[in-house]
A = this chain, B = another copy of it.
Amino acid sequence: MTEQHQGIEMTLFSTEEMSAVFANEAHVRSMLRFEAALARAEARAGIIPHEAAKRIEASCKEEFFDIAALYREARKAGTLAIPLVKVLTRRVEGEAGKYVHWGATSQDVIDTAMMLQMREGIDLLVAGLLEIGAVCAKWSEQYRHTLMVGRTLLQHALPMTFGLKAARWLALVTRLSSELRERRAQKIALQLGGAAGTLASLGEKGLVVGAYLAEELQLPAADMPWHTERDRVVEIATSVGVVAGAMAKIANDLVLLSQSEVGEVAEGRAVGKGGSSAMPQKRNPVDTTRAMASARLAIGMVPVLLSGMVQEHERGVGGWQAEWAAIPELFCTTAGSIEGVREALVDLEIDPARMRENLDLTNGLSMAESLTLALGVKLGRGEAYRLVQEVCQRVVASGKTLRQEVLEDHDIQEHLSSDEIDLALDPKNYLGSTDALIDRALAGYQKILQ
């Protein structure tokens, strides 16, 4: 295939860095890393001569291989391992060549290479999430007291602050980062089993070689070969998919806040960004839109991997091979979704005045509950509730504010002074545990940074 066939997802819906981690070249490089380490491990275990290991290692260099040709051969051979081992063996020459890939099966090298790439991929994802966290942490403090309305089912509900909104996103990316790190620690593992998972050609020394190889690659050894038990891979993948879903949530919130009628945030201006020559008022949400599209693509890979778990006996027919494309695509598009959110956040224009304006849009009715509580202390909950409900109905009917209607209500004024009313109707007095929750989110984020 020539450069001409470059697909769009790598161009628009990924990042340079992640695309590099999962490029065909990177896969070959990881496979060569496996072959070199295997030779070293087997030399340590006394299975192959040290000299042979050295000669193999010396040939395990990407620049010796014609990547495009390898992939062309892989199409015929069924796996990339077959042409790669063939070319490597030829290059090593002589008796040492015979020890190339000794005791391993194609799937050992491919699965291990993919694990090495996924480990790098996870690190990139976590780094991106933590950058988002840094912005959210800053805002949690900065907008801690900036009032905005909380919206349920896209209807105004109660007051909250933009700092709390940022803190919720912060807690989210903190949890996602922890989760990815746990996956990295627990699920990334070496694959080594030989053709039937018995390590037969390594005789008695199979597990020793496995242990040495794990050391060489700084990968945990698995309890067992896992050629057709894909729980590790898919558990990593689903956690990555959850990250994509979470990015889409944040991006969608930003898009909703950017609506012309809401206008509480807007993506930063930049030359060539989100504009329209015909419509100068236009500020399209570009980064967030890209984040949402990327996340959709990422999520699409998860059921491919899940249903691909049905792998036959000791080597799958189709389910395994689909992973070769599905995992790179999942990581790349998830990276794209993180990057889209990150780019949107770093330049985001935030409009606290508009937030306050929107909060007041329902004429103060979002403070009805607060008023009921204040009255309840004096009157009992039942009576308070009845009175406030009546006032609220008048607000809806008259179009006046809740404050105006309360000040015209003699029953209420009998029990609450004008100051008490103002206190009860001020949104900043009705924020409950907002502050404490922001502190928790900040503390949680600080903790994973260490």
Contact = CB atoms under 8 A, between A and B. Distances in A.
A361 B261 contact: yes
From A283, A317, A392, residue with most partner B Cβ within 10 Å: A317
From A300, A366, A381, residue with most partner B Cβ within 10 Å: A300
Interface in A134-173: 149-160, 164, 167-168, 171-172
Interface stretch (A53-61, A71-79, A412-420): A71-79
B252 A312 contact: yes
A349 to B, nearest CB: 14
A449 interface: no
Interface stretch (A35-43, A119-127, A285-293): A285-293
Interface residues of A, number: 182
Contact of A23 (B7, B225, B252, B389): B7
Interface string A354-369: 0000100111011011
B261 A249 contact: no
Nearest to A157: B195
The quantity of this chain's copies bound in the complex is 4
Nearest to A171: B224
Interface string A368-411: 11101100000011100100010011011000000000000000
B297 A304 contact: yes
22 contacts: A1-B6, A8-B325, A76-B272, A77-B273, A105-B152, A149-B260, A159-B198, A234-B242, A238-B238, A244-B306, A245-B307, A248-B310, A249-B309, A253-B312, A281-B396, A289-B318, A291-B318, A294-B322, A296-B308, A300-B303, A302-B306, A325-B333
